């Protein structure tokens, strides 16, 4: 009897670990992708332990029956991993909005000539891209969104007990709409600065046509860099409001995933 209880508890905890472990894959903590695999495993296990008392099938009378084979256990783990991956992807899209806006802005301003390693993605990126991505990760914790994500996981365990989650076409539609909002936020973030930089290019081009001896086009590169730096100050002021509006939509998507 003790052996059967322990095996059933371990199976259910494995399902919960599949849900949290898939989420850790996309968690937007700077440097997490470069961290040792043991750190990610420990983080996923800690989340599972925190959420274990809230799971209706852990330590209670609603234990799942033991799967007859490894394939049956895998079939139960796949939906749990799908929920974690969808939740993690929604959170990652929230941070990606800033990276998208910085990519458009940095290319137009000339920051693409100098690249550095992004600590969040471990790929070459412009300085502005790294700066806004780190700012987005900072705002994620400033607005306590990590607590909202844990609350969503707790609600999902009540609405979708372990082994019962099923994907729906409406969930895919919500993720597509969230991706569209990410594109819109990135464009709104970069459009004012990009518009001013295009006006600078147009002005210098017209002045160069009026008097070719001025050679103003050679000054376009430093002028655009200085103008982009000057315009970053008012841009940073509106960044929290844009982030908060997109975060509200992301939380709504997570709540819809966590509800039947």
Cα-atom radius of gyration of the chain, to the nearest Å? 24
Q: How many domains does the chain have?
A: 1
For the stretch 220-229, pLDDT in tens is: 777 777 877 7
Among 177, 174, 188, 178, smallest CA distance to 259 is for 174
CB neighbours of residue 242 within 10 Å: 19
Give Cβ neighbours of residue 135 (< 8 Å, ≥ 6 apart): 98, 236, 239
For the stretch 187-215, pLDDT in tens is: 888 888 888 888 877 887 777 777 767 66
Per-position pLDDT tens, the chain of length 260? 444 445 667 777 788 888 888 888 777 666 666 666 677 788 888 888 888 777 754 444 344 545 556 677 777 778 888 888 888 888 888 888 887 877 777 767 666 655 555 555 555 556 777 777 778 888 888 888 888 888 888 888 887 777 777 778 887 888 888 888 888 888 888 888 888 888 877 887 777 777 767 666 677 777 777 877 788 788 888 888 888 888 888 888 888 888 87
Query: What is the rounded distance in angstroms from the CA atom of residue 232 to the CA atom of residue 239?
Result: 10
Whether the CB-CB separation of 159 and 260 falls below 8 Å is answered with yes
Q: CB under 8 Å, gap of 24 or more: what pairs does 241-248 form?
A: 242/97, 242/185, 242/188, 242/189, 243/94, 243/97, 243/98, 243/136, 243/139, 243/143, 244/143, 245/185, 246/94, 246/97, 246/181, 246/182, 246/185, 247/94, 247/140, 247/143, 247/145
The parent domain of residue 185 ranges over 2-258
Burial track 131-143 (b if 16+ CB lie within 10 A, e otherwise)? bbbbbbbebbeeb
**How many angstroms from the chain centroid is the CA of residue 45?**
21
Q: How many CA atoms lie within 13 A of 177 on its CB side?
A: 12
Query: What is the rounded distance in angstroms from the CA atom of residue 160 to the CA atom of residue 79?
Result: 11
């Amino acid at each position: 009897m003790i052996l059967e209880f322990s095996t059933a508890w371990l199976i259910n905890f494995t399902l919960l670990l599949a849900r949290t472990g898939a989420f850790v894959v996309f968690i937007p903590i700077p440097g997490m992708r470069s961290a040792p695999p043991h750190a990610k495993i420990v983080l996923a296990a800690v989340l599972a332990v925190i959420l274990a008392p809230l799971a209706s099938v852990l330590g209670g009378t609603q234990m799942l029956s033991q799967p007859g084979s490894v394939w049956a256990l895998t079939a139960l783990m796949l939906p749990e991993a799908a929920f974690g991956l969808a939740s993690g992807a929604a959170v990652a899209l929230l941070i990606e909005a800033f990276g998208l806006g910085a990519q458009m802005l940095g290319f137009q301003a000339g920051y693409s000539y100098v690249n550095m390693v992004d600590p969040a993605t471990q790929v070459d990126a412009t300085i502005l891209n790294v700066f806004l991505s780190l700012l987005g990760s900072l705002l994620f914790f400033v607005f306590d969104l990590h607590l909202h994500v844990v609350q969503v996981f707790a609600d999902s365990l009540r609405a979708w007990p372990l082994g019962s989650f099923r994907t729906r076409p409406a969930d895919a539609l919500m993720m597509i709409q969230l991706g569209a909002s990410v594109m819109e936020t990135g464009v709104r973030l970069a459009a004012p600065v990009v518009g001013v930089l295009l006006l600078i290019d147009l002005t210098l081009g017209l002045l160069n046509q009026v008097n070719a001896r001025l050679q103003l086009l050679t000054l376009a590169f430093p002028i655009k860099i200085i103008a982009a730096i000057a315009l970053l100050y008012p841009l940073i002021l509106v960044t929290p409001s844009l982030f908060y509006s997109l975060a509200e939509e992301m939380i709504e998507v997570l709540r819809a995933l966590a509800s039947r």
